[in-house]
Amino acid sequence: MNRAGILPRRYAKALFLVGSDRGILDKIQEDWALFVHTLKEKPDFYHFFVSPEVSRREKEEKIEELFGDIFSNVFYNFLLVILKNQRQNVILEIAEAFNVEVDQSVNRTKAVVTSAVELPAELRTQIQQQLSKDLNKEIILVTQRDPTLIGGIRIMVEGKVIDGSIKGKLRMMRDFLMQKPEERMN
């Protein structure tokens, strides 16, 4: 496991445990959503927040100015710890890891379904219900379009890929045909 993946999970886990102990996970999720939205929608603020050229003090003052009356004390102090430890460059990864922690705690997971065309609502519901039944978890279904798949769908869930796309089938066929004849027999 690389360091880039471990650090965000450690920070996320720590925040999750504190939020869980204090019964404020919902509020912390709201705080995260607002903060991440701001980082993504305001590129100038994102660069300000992650820039090593901007002093920690300036960042703390800006966070206080923008969010001081909005964020919970736990989340606000968490951001100060992030700045103190100079981990702001992995803030989005920490946010994602925090959401994974919350999802795991309530037996929920995200599934990404990619298709060449937009899937009808009925099919999305069927996929969601089947995955929920197979994994025994609540499924958050995220759909994406990728015309290069040609047809079919590709599902990514819990680190696994179920590739039922035409592109995937053609790739498997190509790989099979590229093998030497003696390898194909095995």
What spatial distance separates the first Cα and last Cα of the chain, rounded to whole Å?
33
Question: Could you tell me if 124 and 143 are in contact, meaning their C-beta atoms sit under 8 angstroms apart?
Answer: yes
Does this model's pTM top 0.75?
A: yes
pLDDT tens per residue, range 53-97: 999 999 999 999 999 999 999 999 999 999 999 999 999 999 999
Query: Of the residues 74, 104, 134, which one is the last residue of a structural domain?
Result: 104
User: Domain count of the chain?
Assistant: 2
Domain that holds residue 127: 107-184
Q: Do 57 and 115 reside in the same domain of the chain?
A: no
Q: Can you give the CATH number for the domain in which 148 is found?
A: 3.40.30
Q: Do 87 and 67 reside in the same domain of the chain?
A: yes
Q: Can you give the CATH number for the domain in which 20 is found?
A: 1.10.520.20
Task: Give residue 99's Cα distance to chain centre.
Answer: 7
Q: Do 130 and 80 reside in the same domain of the chain?
A: no
